[in-house]
Amino acid sequence: MRLTVFGLGYLGATHAACMAELGHEVLGVEVDPDKLTKLRQGQVPFYEPGLPELLGKHIDSGRLQVTDSYETAADWGDAFFIAVGTPPKKGEDSADVSQVEAVIDNLVPLLTRDAIILGKSTVPVGTAQDLFCRAKDLANNILVEIAWNPEFLREGHAIKDTLHPDRLVLGRVSGGNAEMVTREIYSSLLAEQTPFIVTDTATAELVKVSANAFLATKISFINAIAEVCSAVGADVRAVADAMGYDTRIGRQFLNAGLGFGGGCLPKDIRAFRARAGELGASGALAFLREVDIINMHRRTRIVDLAKTVCGGSLLGAHVAVLGAAFKPESDDVRDSPALNVAGQIQLQGASVTVYDPQAIDNSRRLFPTLSYADSAMSACHRADVVLVLTEWAEFVGLDPHALGKVTSRRAVIDGRMCLESVKWKEAGWEYWS
Ligand code: UDX
């Protein structure tokens, strides 16, 4: 099939490359000239394991093309995917859907035959219905169907999550063609018995935000338990392991530590609450505020721990921060807990040096005042305390003996409970988590 994907960020670039891998002819539309130039050369403007190879393969084969032209896009496809961003509105929690609306406004007047638009972006419930009305006003004697096909991919695992998803969800208006077309697009995934939930658009929109709200809640739940464990000297990891054996609960997303960040979970739970408020159901999601508070408290708590380790003040302390990305296998620093902690520590008068295997360039743009090193070893040079804030395999595999030779003091705070504490203690380190 001929598919068009609007927005070639983390979600859209992955989706476009994966649709080409499934055998479709794909046209990606990106309006940012820098991104477009890179993509045309087969380069991915962010870090996602395996994506440069997949994207390069299909740019070379011609099965994936990129453009900034809506005219070309309007003529191209059997179906049009929307994968643009939905960041928070300035100074508000609610989602800004203007980029999604802009795709409709620019595309629909150019369409000359009936079209199916499949939204993938995470949007407030009710958006697809609003877009349908918007498209109807703009359409020139054609029928534009708007359906929602939310995406559940995780950064760092984006290709696997797209080519072998846990489930496919489609929200559509009954009586239209969206289900038939979507079944055809994903026929090879459906042949693998991937569960396919077909529902109305509001339900599909809610599936996505509910899943993210649940994941955030699970993380904050274990972090709240971690606080209680700290108070009594209990082991939160053992609690999580034992709870996780209960198949009703499951072990995933019960890793206590610095909490969640990134471009999705924090903004999505806030936008979800804001939307519930608009719908007159704010009380129903009041608990998400608590989830958010617990999560943000993890950041201040680790700053306080660093202060205690440094003798009660961070003023003049040398602090090494290992990790800046919001999670390993990503260069994404949007709402990164690691970078937030590094910034807070610096604001309290410490000299902070950050190292991350992939996220230095993005971190430097966001926090130009922090110092950056090009290796873990050089970040730790003369450090009074080392903070491990993203659980990259590189940090898990660090040799504490070698690292201890360059630091001022052998003190480590394991913000992700990812280090082998025994190994570090045997190498003479004071260890906190
Ligand atoms: C998330 C959802 O998982 C995905 O389904 C959705 O499509 C987009 O949002 P992503 O933002 O890529 O994906 O990251 P995820 O793997 O969910 O991790 C989010 C944050 O939670 C990270 O900061 C991670 O470090 C943290 N986390 C995760 C924990 O603190 N503990 C855990 O046990 C798991």
> Which domains occur in the chain, in start order?
2-197 (3.40.50.720), 200-433 (3.40.50.720)
Pairing outcome for strands 371-372 and 351-355? parallel
Which residue's CA is minimally distant from atom 18 of ligand 1?
A: 260
Structure tokens at 374: 């090009």
pLDDT recorded at residue 94: 97
CB proximity list for 216: less than 8 A, separation 6 or greater: 260, 265, 266, 268, 269, 288, 291, 292, 295
265: Cβ below 6 Å to ligand 1?
yes
Structure tokens at 155: 């950064």
CA 262 to ligand 1 center in whole angstroms: 7
Mean pLDDT for each 10-residue chunk of the chain (433 residues)?
A: 97 98 98 95 94 97 97 94 97 97 98 97 98 97 97 96 98 95 98 98 98 98 97 97 98 98 97 97 96 98 98 98 97 98 98 98 96 98 98 98 98 98 98 96
pLDDT recorded at residue 261: 98
Rounded distance, CA 53 to CA 329, Å? 16
pLDDT recorded at residue 28: 98
pLDDT recorded at residue 219: 98
pTM here? 0.96
Q: Which atom of ligand 1 is nearest to the CA of 254?
A: 33
pLDDT recorded at residue 115: 97
Structure tokens at 38: 């890179």
Q: Quick check: 421 and 414 in contact, CB under 8 A? A: yes
pLDDT recorded at residue 77: 84
Q: Quick check: 99 and 84 in contact, CB under 8 A? A: yes
Report the binding-site residues: 35, 86, 122, 152-155, 208, 253-257, 261, 267, 327, 334
Q: Quick check: 389 and 321 in contact, CB under 8 A? A: yes
How much is the CA Rg of the chain, to the nearest whole Å?
23
> Ligand 1: which of 121, 219, 243, 329 to mutate, judged by most atoms within 8 Å of the beta carbon?
219
Structure tokens at 282: 């704010």
Task: Give the rounded distance of the alpha carbon of 275 from its chain centre.
Answer: 20
